[in-house]
């Protein structure tokens, strides 16, 4: 899914005219339709995983992937980075499937990977959800 998104992003971005989006003239890279499509697809996938009763390990693996991808792909597609960061908020759908121990471990990893200075509202929501789930210990 992430590979398809990046492929669509690069293709759509390469089709833009030179200078398009500069000074608010025309659509910039942030306005490409692939961003919204990716978020819709990821949201549906995560809802499906949560609804079918994923175990804590499966939920943790999915969340670890979602949480690590923006950092790994930032240099490859800087304009897609912000969509990947916002997509992390969709992971809250799986937080309830985590055991308290997995939630606590993910909370610590996530908090160190995304220091306060790099967090957007989505990251604050993720931390809040993980902290809430970790308190079930």
CB atoms within 10 A of CB 29: 19
Please say if the pLDDT value at position 18 is more than 90.
no
- When the pLDDT of each residue in the chain is averaged and rounded to a whole number, the result is 86
User: CA nearest 82: which of 1, 9, 17?
Assistant: 9
Share of the chain above pLDDT 90, in %: 61
Please, what is the Cα angle at 127 between 104 and 115, to 5 degrees?
105
User: CA nearest 1: which of 32, 29, 43?
Assistant: 43
User: CA nearest 126: which of 90, 79, 101?
Assistant: 90
Mean pLDDT of the 82-101 span: 93
pLDDT at res. 26:
52
pLDDT at res. 13:
72
User: CA nearest 67: which of 44, 92, 48?
Assistant: 92
pLDDT at res. 30:
60
pLDDT band at 51 (very low <50, low <70, confident <90, very high): very high
Beta strands in the chain (DSSP E): none
| Axis-axis angle for helices 78-87, 121-134 (nearest 10) | 40
- Dist. CA 105–CA 16, nearest whole Å: 42
pLDDT at res. 75:
74
Share of the chain above pLDDT 70, in %: 88
pLDDT at res. 77:
73
Please say if the pLDDT value at position 97 is more than 60.
yes
């Amino acid at each position: 899914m992430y590979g398809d998104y990046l492929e669509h992003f690069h293709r759509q971005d390469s089709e833009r005219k030179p200078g398009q989006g500069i000074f608010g003239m025309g659509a910039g890279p942030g306005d490409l339709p692939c961003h919204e499509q990716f978020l819709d697809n990821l949201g549906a996938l995560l809802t499906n995983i949560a609804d079918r009763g994923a175990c804590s390990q499966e939920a943790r693996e999915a969340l670890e992937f979602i949480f690590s991808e923006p950092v790994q792909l930032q240099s490859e597609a800087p304009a897609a980075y912000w969509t990947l960061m916002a997509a992390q908020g969709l992971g809250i759908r799986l937080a309830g499937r985590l055991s308290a121990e997995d939630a606590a471990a993910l909370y610590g990893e996530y908090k160190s990977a995304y220091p306060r200075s790099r967090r957007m509202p989505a990251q604050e929501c993720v931390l809040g959800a993980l902290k809430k789930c970790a308190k079930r210990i």
